[in-house]
Amino acid sequence: MDIVKLTLNKIPDLYIEAENITPDHFAGKTAQQIGELHLHLGNTTAKISDYFSVEGKGGQTAADTKIIVAGDTTKVKYIGMKMTAGEIEVQGNTDMYTAAWMSGGKIHVKGNVDSFCAIGMTGGEFIVDGNAKNYLAASYRGDWRGMQGGKVTVKGNAGSDTATFMNGGTIDIGGNVDVHLGTHAEGGKIIVRGNAKGRVGGQMVKGDIFVLGQVERMMPSYIYKADEEVELDGKKQIFQVWIGDMGERHAKRKGEIIYGKIYIPTEIATEKAYADVVEKKKKLSDKQLDQVKEAFRDQEPTVQQVRTYIYDTFDVDMKPMQVSRVISGLKR
Amino acid sequence: MSKTITDVICPFCGTLCDDLSVVTDDEGKKILSVENACAIGAEKFLHASDHSHRVTRPRRLQEDGSFVDITYEEAIEYTAQMLANAKKPSMYGWSSTNCESQSVGHEIAELCGALVDNTAAVCHGTTLVAVQNVGIPSCTLGEVKNRADRIIFWGSNPAHGHPRHMSRYSIFPRGYFTGKGQKQRKIIVVDPRCTDTSSLADVHLQVEQGQDYELLQALRAAVRGQELTGDIIAGVPKEKVYEAAEMLKSGRFGVIFFGMGVTQSLGKDHNIDAAIMLTNDLNNYTKFSIIAMRGHYNVTGSGQVLGWQFGFPYSVDLSRGFARYNPGETGTIELLKRKEIDAMFVLGSDPGAHFPMQCVKEISKLPSVAIDPHITPTSAICKVHVPVAFVGVEVGGNCYRMDNVPIESRKVVEPPEGMMTDQQFLEGVLKRVKELKAN
């Protein structure tokens, strides 16, 4: 496999749209030819070589090409968009649409990714070592086809609207997810190893959602069906199975109605776990407060930024008003 | 002697009342009184006609924070240069102007590779996202007046936001099939608070704040006769949910009016998606429609014009020469937060008052122009402020009511001497941008 190494050596003023950074576009090209490929910044066009140094060359086919992206690529969108084969390794963070509409190959991001990553994905593998923001593996606006195949693994947390309109493939999230997980799902499998913030499986008609932590509030339109023994990660466990969304119309197969299913481990899904809001800690200790101050020293963070940081770091769900007071404290 | 102009359109809210009578002085320069309008609408006419407090010439912000008067030609030159030289300019607003001006503005945006966004970004944009996902079964306000006997106000308080909506269309009027007016109608209000509208309701579902989605899905399940989990659904007793579902099914014609209480609370477009699907479900039992309570008088028109010109109703990104649309990525608020735009043009809106502080700070740092008859928080932070004539008072033009019905607004008085209209200013900018781009 031939390797092309791109190193970002100039931070752009605006965000770079880099849909040409895929093994499909790099295959069969020399470093110079790769450097000539286009990037877009707002209404202007640049070359890859204007922002990246290029080393190596593409393989004969996309499948023979591996791209390593180094440098601070937080402001680079569309990496690996519509890629069909090969491999991409991103050593830092990426912006929106990474792995969007991907149909084959592998993308490994070692940092965090922004929103709309892996949307409309039909195949391949997408791994994120950090966190993913909103609309992970969802559908594009107006489209009713979200993720249809392949595998997405996020080792950290995921934002809201994850897997909207999903109808195939597997998503494995190591941490927590925000609201609206699997909304409108019509198939596929979602595993959340942390907690889900609520509205799990809203308007879902088919598919499986495993939440190994707690569901903050189960939708009233889901009904408890039974405890079932299900195999997950190669071992059998007993889960409470909830079916729904009862507000939706459901198809029949062989005379039997198909429902979406939510699986919660029985040891966590006690009788009250679904109905009541999980009583999370609402306050920070002095030590935690110091850590927040340190993290946002000399910055002007928004309430949302601080609230997300506190939720991700300490698993404390503070109200915006409380967070505002923390921010006032930072200024003093 | 005074003269009376009848059938005047009110350029305040999306209800776009078309039965106003305006009395002016003999010369047609001053408005003496306004009849049939609500307090807010009447004030808009009277305020416009009082020229003593108006800014009548464009102004440029100086480094010490004071403004200096410039000519319209200088303002056109600044705006054209700013838009033509920017890599990703945003052209925001468009909701308090006529469709003709919007169309000229969009031509400039296309030439400059700009982003065009309207105030739906902070109100009913989520509705437009949901409509794209699941469609919308809707009707006109005339049908509501003449047929509707089940009215739901969800997250909306027309008693204050759309003052004449209830008397003209939804609760009180006697229509063709609704001859007994309010007595013939059942009103359901869904609101966490007790409001002046909820005081008129037969059923007030006091939903828990931010739990609209749960209640909507529960109602959908209840309409189908499905079982629900929990005794209290989103703050409402389960029995009351079933009762409301039965009340909706038993009507001859129903309509859901929804406002920002549901479009901008947790879930956003998903809430509207569920509300539209509830309407859809109810059509299995009776006739039901759903209408958004649009705020600015021509925000619907902006969506319409953008729709027929570019295919998308707001947050349209033209930077690559073709239209892209993805609220969350191409919305002005997100772009300002991410520091992704490098020039800001505002017309017919006040983002300085409505946007998050982080975005307002960003606008103040960018090259920026505000086109507005008033002095507003936006005009105070923009580098150039261009006053223009009031659309619907000093200049006519096409506008769209909240139910997507186009209505031609009327000119009732003359603007201050030498003052340009939105359209004239934009045509000047368009001409100059074409020259700059040709070079």
pLDDT tens digits, one per residue of A159-201: 999 999 999 999 999 999 999 999 999 999 999 999 998 899 9
Give dist(CA B327, CA B312) in Å, integer: 11
Residues of A within 8 A of B325 (CB-CB) are 141
Give the residue among A77, A178, A226 at the shortest CA–CA distance from A163.
A178
Tell me what the mean pLDDT of segment B235-255 comes to. 94
pLDDT in tens, A23-44: 999 999 999 999 999 999 999 9
Query: Cβ A199–B214 below 8 Å, yes or no?
Result: yes
pLDDT value at residue A282: 65
Asked if pLDDT for residue A276 goes beyond 50, the answer is no
B102: phi then psi, degrees, rounded to nearest 5 = -60, -40
Tell me what the mean pLDDT of segment A62-91 comes to. 96
pLDDT value at residue A332: 54
Mean of the per-residue pLDDT values of chain A: 90
Q: Where are the alpha helices (DSSP H) in B28-140?
A: 39-49, 72-85, 99-112, 125-134
HEC secondary structure over B404-427: CCEEEECCCCCCCCCCCCHHHHHH
Are the beta carbons of B168 and B15 closer than 8 angstroms?
yes
The verdict on B320 touching A (C-beta cutoff 8 Å) is yes
Instruction: Answer with the residue of higher pLDDT: B290 or A255.
Output: B290
Tell me what the mean pLDDT of segment A91-107 comes to. 97
pLDDT in tens, B45-61: 998 888 888 899 999 99
B259: phi then psi, degrees, rounded to nearest 5 = -125, -160
The verdict on A238 touching B (C-beta cutoff 8 Å) is no
In the DSSP assignment, the letter for residue B207 is P
Model ipTM over 0.90: yes
Tokens of B327: 């609220």
Instruction: Answer with the residue of higher pLDDT: A266 or A139.
Output: A139
Are the beta carbons of B360 and B350 closer than 8 angstroms?
no
What is the fold, at CATH topology level, of the domain defined by B125-292? Dimethylsulfoxide Reductase; domain 2 (3.40.228)
Residue A285: pLDDT band with limits 50, 70, 90: confident
Residue A269: pLDDT band with limits 50, 70, 90: low
Give the minimum alpha-carbon distance from A204 to chain B in angstroms, rounded to a whole number: 11
Are the beta carbons of B378 and B350 closer than 8 angstroms?
yes
Instruction: Indicate the pTM of the whole model.
Output: 0.90
Total CB pairs under 8 A between chain A and B: 118
The verdict on B287 touching A (C-beta cutoff 8 Å) is no
Asked if pLDDT for residue A274 goes beyond 70, the answer is no
Tell me what the mean pLDDT of segment B171-191 comes to. 93
Residues of A within 8 A of B227 (CB-CB) are 223, 246
Asked if pLDDT for residue A202 goes beyond 70, the answer is yes
In the DSSP assignment, the letter for residue A62 is G
pLDDT value at residue B72: 97
The verdict on B433 touching A (C-beta cutoff 8 Å) is no
Residue A323: pLDDT band with limits 50, 70, 90: confident
Q: Which of A16, A204, A219, A305 to mutate to test the interface with B (most CBs of B within 10 A)?
A: A219
Pick the residue from chain A with its C-alpha nearest to B266. Answer: A179
Asked if pLDDT for residue B261 goes beyond 50, the answer is yes
pLDDT value at residue A272: 44
pLDDT value at residue B355: 95
Pick the residue from chain A with its C-alpha nearest to B83. Answer: A43
> For chain A, where are the E strands, in sequence order?
2-8, 16-17, 38-41, 44-47, 52-56, 65-70, 76-77, 87-90, 106-109, 125-128, 151-154, 167-173, 186-192, 206-211, 223-232, 235-244, 252-253, 256-257, 260-265
Pick the residue from chain B with its C-alpha nearest to A222. Answer: B229
Asked if pLDDT for residue A103 goes beyond 70, the answer is yes
pLDDT value at residue A299: 79
pLDDT value at residue B373: 93
Domain boundaries, chain B: 2-49, 56-123+297-438, 125-292
Query: The CATH number of B56-123+297-438 is which of 3.90.1150.10, 3.20.20.60, 3.40.50.740, 3.40.50.1370?
Result: 3.40.50.740
Give dist(CA B205, CA B190) in Å, integer: 5
Give dist(CA A323, CA B298) in Å, integer: 37
The verdict on B218 touching A (C-beta cutoff 8 Å) is yes
Give dist(CA B175, CA B166) in Å, integer: 13
Tell me what the mean pLDDT of segment B392-399 comes to. 94
pLDDT value at residue B237: 93
Pick the residue from chain B with its C-alpha nearest to A40. Answer: B320
pLDDT in tens, A291-316: 888 888 777 788 878 888 888 888 78
Mean of the per-residue pLDDT values of chain B: 94
Give the residue among A127, A187, A135, A142 at the shortest CA–CA distance from A161.
A135
In the DSSP assignment, the letter for residue B96 is T
Share of chain B above pLDDT 90, in %: 92
pLDDT in tens, B348-374: 999 999 999 999 999 999 999 999 999
pLDDT value at residue A277: 42
The verdict on A223 touching B (C-beta cutoff 8 Å) is yes
In the DSSP assignment, the letter for residue B63 is T
> Which secondary structure element, helix H or strand E, spans residue B238, and what is its range?
helix B238-249
Residue A271: pLDDT band with limits 50, 70, 90: very low
Give dist(CA A159, CA A192) in Å, integer: 12
- Residue B183 burial (CB count, 10 A): 8
Asked if pLDDT for residue A275 goes beyond 70, the answer is no
Give dist(CA A240, CA A56) in Å, integer: 53
In the DSSP assignment, the letter for residue B167 is I
